[in-house]
């Protein structure tokens, strides 16, 4: 049993393999948080709460003469507002009589086998015996609200999930102004906040800073989880590194306006409240109605950030992504975008496909520009019939011809948007989000469809299900190229307009759910101008997401390793593109570009006809290497061998198979220096008692101007070293010279007699 209730002490304990989460029904009926951390069995940790009078901290009515008892200082599971706790609330609402807030008291709880689901929202799922659910219901007498707190306990995965469903059991409507997915009070300790910030073409850079007293917020108000502030956050003890120290990770499964508030209060206690962003949000809950807050997954480790990441990676791969593609090698693709932009026709596309097929590429993806009057981003969005001038025969002859090459055929779509210059907008101008009487702001020349309207979602389902049924499509790239402004739904009454942003997300999830359920074999890749909606909510439906519009390999090292703090390599769309790079103008060796792209779902975004003979040879070799190592990259453990904050001369990371039989070391030099000692790293995730053969050393883009002799990996290949020596003494590469050289070194466990172990 992962969930235990002790009636004598009124404590509820959630145990995973290595962690314990404990709460208590307090004397006043408030649900108190006691502990989250390393596993502790058979002890009630209510002794950790020291009642004391802090002054100016109010007391609940039943304890009105006991100054030591205050909601303002007690750690809690789901605090309301305006009833004695001045810290950030999980729930904030307005009653019909104008009263603000709630005073939530325990009513009942239930322990169930299996994992709860959430209506209309992405949620982690479990196979038989993999999870248990705890449902705790709190009630507010004044409003009649009942709050069902849901806890999913994944014992073997060492992960917990939380969500909340608010029911209106009262007699009048209540307006919800804030509904948290979780509240996590951490009464003791000094913590640092790690979050993934960025901008378009520079997403998910990891930033870590000490918490200050007061409030720190990670949020998006853009209608998408955003390039700018990813919903994932972690708290780390200041001494935590990749391999040591306490870390808590919180992974919201939500793709819209999110907010995580981290408040350090008067006693240095930390409160984290995460959920839908209360800005631009409210929800009218009429009697009998329910509202579900999105789920958040979270975990604790005392073994450093690397362990936290791998725990999240395994959980995302096994319990969040539902596509059957999560367990399959993704086809190596060629995407038309950087090679052709809008300038193509069927012949040019076929030439691209033929050239790529000859190099071993397995799927052609036709990006933007194949439909309507789409010759630039000015027009045509919304008109999902093939552009007659470019594809006179339509899509099917093209997909047939691509299939005849032995390749899969993929297609780009952007369902949620419309150009003002389009047949769809002419017919349904009211389907776009615009404020009556005000000209809307444009983004990339387009407007946003009101995905909260059932008829819009039904229409889009009709269009795209027909495409997937009739046109021979194996893969969809689902793009979203602007953020939301002028949020006003013509389908909602004035007093419900603040529901529009969340209803939009529910509509997007509904469309994704219907399409991915109807076409489970189609591989979906999410995208939002690169990684503008790279989150666990989207990953529930799309097993991979285009990581960034920045394809520069050196920038990608930071982007992909930042992304890897929470998300596995199997989710990161990554391609080799041309140099000078279209986003930065930088030139990086072709081989180094391959190392970086191979650390995600591998592909190309260039015209193979423009490649030199040597580059064509390298493409074949890269695809071959990717095929030999994809299972370790996609399902293995990731070890960041250089710390994220270390802006040293090189960055190194390693994929190790869970059975410790194989490891792939990747090194990229980001700053070449004279007289360098060489990149020294200590491998991880090997068996110290086992022996490993250096299988292959690929030096990429190295020059040696003084001797003019290229580095030769063969000198060390075949050498057998112990796991202990590779992990404790480490492995040193010779100085890599040139612009952005890299190296990829593979290790395979062998028997002591030299056979593969
Ligand atoms: C943004 C995407 O990130 C690009 O890869 C490309 O698909 C363009 N949109 C097409 O408009």
What's the CA-to-centroid distance between 477 and ligand 1, angstroms?
A: 9
Query: With a 6 A CB cut-off, is 574 part of the ligand 1 pocket?
Result: no
Residue 590 lies in a domain: no
pLDDT at residue 707, as a whole number: 56
Closest CA to 645 of 310, 259, 236, 232: 236
Q: What is the CATH number of the domain that holds 45?
A: 2.70.98.60
Ligand 1 centroid to residue 337 C-alpha, Å: 7
pLDDT at 1: 82
Tell me, what CATH number does 377's domain have? 3.20.20.70
Q: Are residues 69 and 165 in the same domain?
A: yes
Share above pLDDT 90 across residues of the chain, in percent, rounded to a whole number: 95
Encode pLDDT of 545-562 as tens digits: 999 999 999 999 999 999
Check whether residue 299 and residue 349 sit in a common domain: no
- Checking if the pLDDT of 710 tops 70, the result is no
Residues 124 and 226 in one domain: yes
Which residue among 490, 519, 548 closes a domain? 519
pLDDT band (50, 70, 90) for residue 507:
very high
Q: How far is CA 76 from the centre of its chain?
A: 28
Q: Where are the beta strands (DSSP E) in 513-660?
A: 523-526, 544-546, 572-577, 601-605, 637-640, 650-656
Rounded to an integer, the average pLDDT of 270-298 is 98
For 299, counting Cβ atoms within 10 Å of its Cβ (0-12 exposed, 13-18 middle, 19+ buried), the class is buried
Same domain, 224 and 341: no
pLDDT given at position 140: 98
Ligand 1: distance of its center to the CA of 262 in Å? Answer: 34
**3-state class of 49 per DSSP?**
coil
The answer to whether residue 482 scores a pLDDT higher than 70 is yes
Q: Which domain holds residue 359?
A: 324-328+335-519
How far apart are the C-alpha atoms of 494 and 223, rounded to whole Å? 20
Claim to verify: residue 433 and residue 463 sit in the same structural domain: yes
In a domain, 582, yes or no: no
Residue nearest to atom 1 of ligand 1 (CA): 529
Q: Does residue 417 fall inside a structural domain?
A: yes
In a domain, 20, yes or no: yes
pLDDT tens by residue, 513-523? 999 999 999 99
Neighbours of 113 (CB within 10 A): 12
- Say whether pLDDT at 705 is over 90: no
Q: What is the CATH number of the domain that holds 704?
A: 2.60.40.1180
* Residue 53 clears pLDDT 90, i.e. is over it: yes
535 is catalytic: yes
| From 133-137, 267-271, 612-616, 703-707, the region with the lowest mean pLDDT | 703-707
pLDDT tens string 189-232: 999 999 999 999 999 999 999 999 999 999 999 999 999 999 99
What number of CA atoms fall less than 13 Å from residue 112's CA on the CB side?
14
pLDDT value, residue 330: 97
Residue 38 inside a domain? The answer is yes
352 CB near ligand 1 (under 6 Å): no
pLDDT of residue 164: 98
Give the CA dihedral 717, 720, 723, 724, nearest 10 degrees.
-120
Same domain? For 308 and 383 the reply is: no
- Which secondary-structure segment (H or E) carries 7? none
CA distances from 279 to 236, 256, 293, 321, 513 (A): 28, 12, 15, 29, 27
Instruction: Give the pLDDT of residue 757.
Output: 52
Do 301 and 420 belong together in one domain? no
Q: How far is the CA of 172 from the centre of ligand 1 (A)?
A: 47
Confidence of residue 647 (pLDDT cuts 50, 70, 90): confident
What is the pLDDT averaged over residues 599-609?
Answer: 97
**432 domain residue, yes or no:** yes
Can you give the pLDDT at residue 694?
A: 97
Mean pLDDT of 690-704: 93
Looking at the structure, tell me whether residues 284 and 311 fall in a common domain.
Answer: yes
Report whether residue 367 contacts ligand 1, using a CB cutoff of 6 Å.
yes
289 and 345, same domain (yes or no): no
pLDDT value at 65 more than 60: yes
634 pLDDT band, cuts 50/70/90, is very high
Report if residue 500 sits inside a domain. Answer: yes
What integer pLDDT is reported at residue 676 of this predicted model?
Answer: 86
Query: Residue 573: inside a domain, yes or no?
Result: no
The pLDDT tens digits for 441-479 are: 999 999 999 999 999 999 999 999 999 999 999 999 999
Active site (annotated) includes residue 354: no
Asked if residue 291 and residue 351 are part of one domain, the reply reads no
Model pLDDT, residue 433: 98
Choosing from 492, 519, 546, the residue where a domain stops is: 519
For residues 479-507, average pLDDT: 98
Q: Which ligand 1 atom is the nearest neighbour of the CA of 548? A: 3
**Catalytic-role residue among 268, 354, 471, 615:** 615
Q: Give the end of a domain, one of 487, 519, 551.
A: 519
Output the pLDDT for position 753: 63
Give per-residue pLDDT as tens, 83-137.
999 999 999 999 999 999 999 999 999 999 999 999 999 999 999 999 999 999 9
Same domain? For 292 and 408 the reply is no
Q: Are residues 252 and 106 in the same domain?
A: yes
What per-residue confidence (pLDDT) applies to 756? 57
Number of domains making up the chain? 3
């Amino acid at each position: 049993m992962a969930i235990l209730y002790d009636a004598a002490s009124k404590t509820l304990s959630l145990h995973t393999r290595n962690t314990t989460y404990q709460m208590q029904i307090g004397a006043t009926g408030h649900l108190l948080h006691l502990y989250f951390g390393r596993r502790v069995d058979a002890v009630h940790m209510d002794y950790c709460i020291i009642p004391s009078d802090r002054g100016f901290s109010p007391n609940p009515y039943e304890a009105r003469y006991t100054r030591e008892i205050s909601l303002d200082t007690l750690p809690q599971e789901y605090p309301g507002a305006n009833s004695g706790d001045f810290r950030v609330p999980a729930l904030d609402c307005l009653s019909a009589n104008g009263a603000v807030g709630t005073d939530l008291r325990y009513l009942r709880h239930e322990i169930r086998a299996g994992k709860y689901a959430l209506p209309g929202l992405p949620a982690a799922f479990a196979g038989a015996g993999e999870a248990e659910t705890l449902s705790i219901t709190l009630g507010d007498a004044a409003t009649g609200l009942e709050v069902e707190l849901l806890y999913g306990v994944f014992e073997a995965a060492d992960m917990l999930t939380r969500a909340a469903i608010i029911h209106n059991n009262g007699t009048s409507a209540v307006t919800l102004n804030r509904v948290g997915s979780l509240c996590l009070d951490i009464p003791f300790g000094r913590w640092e906040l790690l979050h993934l910030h960025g901008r378009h073409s520079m997403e998910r850079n990891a930033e870590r800073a000490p918490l200050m007293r007061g409030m720190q917020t990670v949020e998006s108000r853009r209608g998408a989880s955003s390039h700018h502030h990813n919903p994932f956050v972690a708290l780390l003890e200041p001494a935590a590194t990749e391999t040591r120290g306490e870390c808590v990770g919180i992974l919201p499964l939500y793709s819209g306006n999110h907010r995580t508030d981290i408040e350090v209060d008067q006693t240095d206690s930390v409160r984290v409240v995460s959920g839908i962003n209360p800005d631009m949000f409210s929800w009218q809950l009429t009697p009998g109605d329910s509202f579900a807050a999105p789920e958040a997954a979270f975990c604790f480790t005392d073994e450093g950030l690397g362990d936290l990441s791998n725990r999240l990676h395994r959980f995302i791969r096994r319990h969040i992504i539902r596509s059957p593609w999560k367990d399959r090698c993704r086809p190596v693709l060629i995407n038309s975008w950087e090679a052709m932009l809008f300038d193509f026709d069927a012949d040019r596309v076929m030439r691209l496909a033929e050239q790529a097929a000859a190099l071993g590429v397995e799927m052609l993806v036709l990006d933007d520009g194949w439909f309507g009057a789409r010759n630039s981003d000015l027009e045509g969005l919304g008109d999902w019939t093939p552009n007659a001038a470019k594809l006179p025969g339509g899509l099917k002859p093209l997909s047939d011809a691509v299939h005849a090459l032995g390749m899969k055929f993929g297609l780009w779509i952007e369902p949620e948007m419309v150009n003002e210059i389009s047949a769809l907008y002419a017919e349904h101008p009211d389907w776009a989000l615009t404020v009556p009487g005000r000209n809307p702001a444009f983004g990339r020349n387009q407007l946003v469809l009101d995905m909260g309207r059932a008829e819009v979602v039904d229409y889009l389902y009709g269009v795209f299900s027909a495409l997937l049924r009739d046109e021979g499509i194996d893969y969809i790239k689902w793009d979203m190229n602007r953020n939301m402004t002028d949020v006003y739904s013509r389908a909602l009454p004035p007093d419900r307009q603040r529901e529009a942003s969340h209803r939009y997300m529910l509509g997007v999830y509904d469309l994704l759910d219907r399409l991915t359920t109807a076409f489970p074999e189609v591989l979906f890749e999410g995208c939002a101008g690169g990684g503008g909606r790279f989150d666990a909510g989207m990953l529930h439906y799309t097993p991979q997401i285009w990581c960034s519009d920045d394809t520069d390999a050196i920038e990608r090292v930071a982007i992909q390793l930042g992304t890897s703090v929470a998300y596995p390599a199997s989710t990161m769309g990554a391609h080799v593109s041309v140099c000078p790079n279209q986003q930065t103008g930088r030139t990086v060796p072709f081989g180094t570009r391959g190392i970086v792209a191979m650390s995600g779902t591998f592909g190309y975004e260039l015209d193979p006809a423009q490649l030199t003979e040597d580059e064509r040879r390298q493409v074949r070799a890269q695809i071959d290497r990717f095929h030999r190592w994809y299972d370790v990259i996609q399902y293995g453990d990731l070890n960041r061998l250089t710390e994220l904050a270390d802006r040293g001369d090189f960055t190194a990371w390693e994929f190790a198979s869970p059975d410790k039989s194989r490891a792939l070391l990747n090194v990229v030099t980001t700053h070449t220096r004279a007289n360098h000692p060489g990149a020294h790293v200590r491998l991880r995730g090997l068996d110290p008692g086992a022996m490993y053969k250096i299988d292959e050393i690929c030096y990429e883009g190295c020059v040696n101007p003084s001797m003019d002799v290229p580095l030769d990996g063969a000198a060390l290949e075949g050498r057998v070293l112990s796991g202990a020596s590779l992990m404790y003494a480490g492995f040193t590469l010779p100085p890599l010279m040139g612009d952005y050289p890299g190296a990829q070194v593979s290790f395979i466990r062998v028997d002591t007699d030299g056979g593969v172990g």
